[in-house]
Structure 1
Amino acid sequence: MAMYMYITLSEEDRIAQYEVDASTGALTHIGNVRTAARPAPLAVNPAGDRLYVGCRDAIAISTFSIGDGGALAHISDVSVDNDPCYLSTDRAGRFLLSAYYEGGRCAVHAIGDDGAAVSPPVEWLATDKGAHSMQTDPANRFAFVPHISGGNGPNAIFQFRFDVETGHITPNTPARVTPDAELGPRHFCFHPHKDILYFSDEQGCSVTAYNFDADAGTLNAFQTTTTLPDGYEGQNSCSQIQIAPSGEFLYAPNRGHNSIACFSVDAHSGALTPIGHALSEAVPRAFSIDPSGQYLYAAGLDTGKLAAYRIEDNGTLARIATYDVGEGPMWVLIIDG
């Protein structure tokens, strides 16, 4: 089956489209699509036929259809009151969730019959500055919105109940989880087989693992592990985070050390063990693992290049190619064709 990659290029107002060779990981550039100003976050619906793009200078969310060969066709735009930094759909694909770092908000838009986001949103909720991402849990009953720290946020994960019928969210009890240290939770991913969430800590330069109570919808931290090698004292911050489809390995980029931190995941406890670092392009803000779990691609915000890696059997990364993709790569998303 073919795979397709989409990269938002914020300095060029376009999405670059690539076909991914499943046997080698090689990329073939197949086109570009113009967008509104400064495209950044991407999300795809569960059916894989709609792509959502947050355009941070246009202050809008765009919807594209995904057709044969991964081709994109613009459907519509909806204006929002702040610039969106993160998008995801709920698990049923009926609602589009978004987070607003500068605006200190999260939102929920209904998705119409044409697959496009509908305005106005059903939720436009003030949380706090530094809201950086938003997702529902696998059962589609709860939602989480992490907020960074370092003077730019409250250093907390906001916990919500999610109504799958209406899209409304209400604060859970407790309404937030606050790390013991100034970690700055930013992005998160779910273990594919366990009730565990992993958060990248922007200011803490770490990954924190949380047990997830699937009945109550609450989180409880059980491990924080640095993303940096011993002895490194330079500036750094963490960005995105992803776990391999198998659940065996987890990856988190370092912006400053300019590397991808690699971890193995204990099959029983879900605890992380560092297994090394792979050098990356400068400021690896965005990355993605292909759906098969064989390859990882990380974009350098400062270089406009994409590093391609093979995921080895032990979870370490072997760089296999480098691609010039364009200026200001902000998001990398790979889908099955």
Structure 2
Amino acid sequence: MKKSACALALMSLMAVTGAARASSFVYVSNADSGTVSGYLLNKDAKKLEPLGDFPAGDKVMSSTVAKDKQLLYVSVRSKPYHVVVYKIQPDGKLQKVGQSPLEESMAYLSTDKSGHFLLSASYGGDLFTINRINAQGQVETPPVQVVHTGKRAHAIQTDPTNRFLYVTLLGADQLLQFHFDPATGKVTPNSPPSINIQKEAATGPRHFVIAPQRDRQGDQNMYILTEMAGNITRVTLDAEGKAHEQESVSSVSPQEDMQRGEARPLTGDDDLPPSHKPRIWQADIHLTPDGRFLYSTERTSSTLSSFSVNPDNGHLTYLNSIKTEAQPRGFAIDNSGRFLIESGQKSNQLSLYSIDQTSGKLALLGRYPTGKGGNWVSIVEQ
């Protein structure tokens, strides 16, 4: 009896301790400040609690989280190009534990589903690289593979099965598709090796998300945000990893009188001549973890748009758009699908929103100071 009581007490203590340690941390890359700002997402109080700013390097941008949620990888896009590795402390503060060179200025980082490889896409270098991540979480060099892509590689991810890899080419209006070998980290082209995104030119496929589950027709849906055309293109992925375009829906607020965008030069985001109407300039896209709602940002109008996802066929229905931080670049949604955190490149604050679980409607909960040039948001839930 005494042993059983002791065992039960120990199990209860372990459960309480585990619950106490469960935390949600938010990290924002500040390109102009050269720092990463950290926050605790207090879900009970519905607020962010600042943890401090951590040095990274000029033009710090894309970040991704290790599979074990113990490390944060951050891309520094100033020379010498590199990735910084941070250890996430129990209190959410960051400790730099490593740094590895990257082949080019990398616009997008992710890891494969095993967490054994770092995937990096370069907008300026027209390429992507795959680097092995060792047992200590460090990024090994040289890369296991460097793939030259054509104009303006922008985002890179593997599919949920970790058998296929996709890369958007903003400058070529294409989605590249590959077979991915999770043992070696190497890719080989699928057949066909790419599909064109829409029939019109200069759509600018930028970021994309893959639905967490198949729709009721059994299709795996991918949603691609076009930077210049102002829409979201839905494609389906078949059993062989091949993408098939289905439809496109407008993702720019109908209240905004805007013209088609243009690709930005490498010298700077705003280096374009004046235009008669504001140019469409979309940035980021994310789904809630249950796949029911999708959100996207448009930088010129500083808007955040909401969509519902049809569970039968993956079709998007536009809901509404709201004004958000100035020139919104990146945002993230927590694992519960109840909170969205959004940053703005021309804002020194970030916004915390609640997500209505029935309607998908966003409600502003608070705004919090951050560094200059906020552009990427990652959430770590331990």
State the TM-score, normalizing by the size of structure 1.
0.96
Q: Equivalent residue of 1:281, what SS?
A: coil
Q: Which residue is 1:230 aligned to?
A: 254
SS in 2 for 1:241: strand
Opposite residue 178 of structure 2, the aligned amino acid is: F
Q: Which residue of 2 aligns with 1:80?
A: 102
Q: How many angstroms apart in 1 are the aligned matches of 2:207 and 2:289?
A: 17
Q: Which residue of 2 aligns with 1:253?
A: 297
Q: Is the alpha carbon distance of 1:274 and 1:24 closer, same or farther for their aligned partners in structure 2, counting shifts above 3 Å?
A: farther
2:55 corresponds to which residue? Answer: 34
Please tell me the residue identity of whatever aligns with 2:236: N
- Secondary structure at 1:203 match in 2: coil
SS at match of 2:150: coil
From 174, 181, 184, the counterpart of 1:156: 174
Greater shift in the superposed pair: 5-14 or 65-74: 65-74
Amino acid at match of 2:166: F
Tell me if structure 1 keeps the 8 A contact 2:160–2:212: no
Which residue number in structure 2 is paired with residue 210 of structure 1? 235
The structural deviation recorded for 1:23 is 2.0
Aligned to 1:186: 206
CA contact (8 A) 1:66 1:73 kept: yes
Q: Which residue of 2 aligns with 1:90?
A: 112
Q: Tell me how far apart the structure 2 counterparts of residues 46 and 112 of structure 1 sit (CA, whole Å).
A: 12
Q: Secondary structure at the match of 1:181?
A: coil
Q: Give 5+ residue unaligned stretches, structure 2.
A: 1-21, 215-219, 259-278
Higher helix residue share: 2
For residue 132 of structure 1, give the secondary structure of its aligned residue in structure 2. Answer: strand
Question: C-alpha root-mean-square deviation of aligned residues, in Å?
Answer: 1.2
Q: From the CA coordinates, give the structure whose radius of gyration is larger.
A: 2
Residue from 32, 45, 57 that aligns with 2:78: 57
2:65 to 38, 44, 50: 44
Aligned to 1:166: 184
Deviation beyond 3 Å, 4+ runs, structure 1: none
**Alignment of structure 1 residues 247-326 onto 2, 5 Å:** 247-312=291-356, 313-326=358-371
1:134-159 superposed Cα distances (whole Å, 9 cap, x missing partner): 000111101000011xxxx1110111
Identity of aligned residues (%): 30
Contact 2:221 2:234 in 1 (8 A): yes
Residue equivalent to 2:379: 334
What's 1:198 paired with? 223
What is the deviation of 1:67? 2.4
Amino acid at match of 2:366: A
Kept in 2, the 8 Å contact 1:7–1:332? The answer is yes
Instruction: Report what 1:105 is aligned to.
Output: 127
Helix, strand or coil for the counterpart of 1:269? coil
Q: Shift of residue 231 of structure 1? A: 5.2
Of 102, 115, 120, which aligns to 2:137? 115
1:243 pairs with 280, 287, 290, which one?
A: 287
